[in-house]
Amino acid sequence: DGGITQSPKYLFRKEGQNVTLSCEQNLNHDAMYWYRQDPGQGLRLIYYSQIVNDFQKGDIAEGYSVSREKKESFPLTVTSAQKNPTAFYLCASNHKAGDYYGYTFGSGTRLTVV
């Protein structure tokens, strides 16, 4: 079955460390997205990519970095510059056009700073 796989489900980061969250899809979707979810704040867009080797900043990109070397993969690195990284991170994907089925979401990664 096609879908999006996020790993790990839980991640703990020490102060000053960089960590990378994995997102892989086998839906042949063109576009991929990273969102951050905090209680009571809905979803905030971090980065998105419409095509391989290209990506754009979302609303809260500071302290994060991404790469899109393959269509299937869109890893997110939370750097030490992100001052408050504890949150639930969601990856999503969709087709470029004509896709009324909306986004497909992964099951999320909960990142905690210890």
Partner 1 sequence: GEDVEQSLFLSVREGDSSVINCTYTDSSSTYLYWYKQEPGAGLQLLTYIFSNMDMKQDQRLTVLLNKKDKHLSLRIADTQTGDSAIYFCAERPSGTYKYIFGTGTRLKVLA
Q: How far apart are CA 82 and CA 84, in angstroms?
A: 6
* Closest to partner 1 by CB, 59 or 81: 59
Among 1, 14, 15, 40, binds partner 1 (CB under 8 A): 40
* 33 makes contact with partner 1 (CB under 8 A): yes
* 31 makes contact with partner 1 (CB under 8 A): yes
Q: How far apart are CA 14 and CA 112, in angstroms?
A: 9
Among candidates 15, 6, 18, which has minimal Cα distance to 92? Answer: 6
Query: Amino acid letter at 69?
Result: E
H/E stretch holding 37: strand 31-37
* Closest to partner 1 by CB, 17 or 26: 26
* 96 makes contact with partner 1 (CB under 8 A): yes
Q: Which residues bind partner 1 (CB under 8 A)?
A: 4, 6, 31, 33, 35, 40-43, 45, 48, 50, 90, 92, 94-97, 99-108, 110
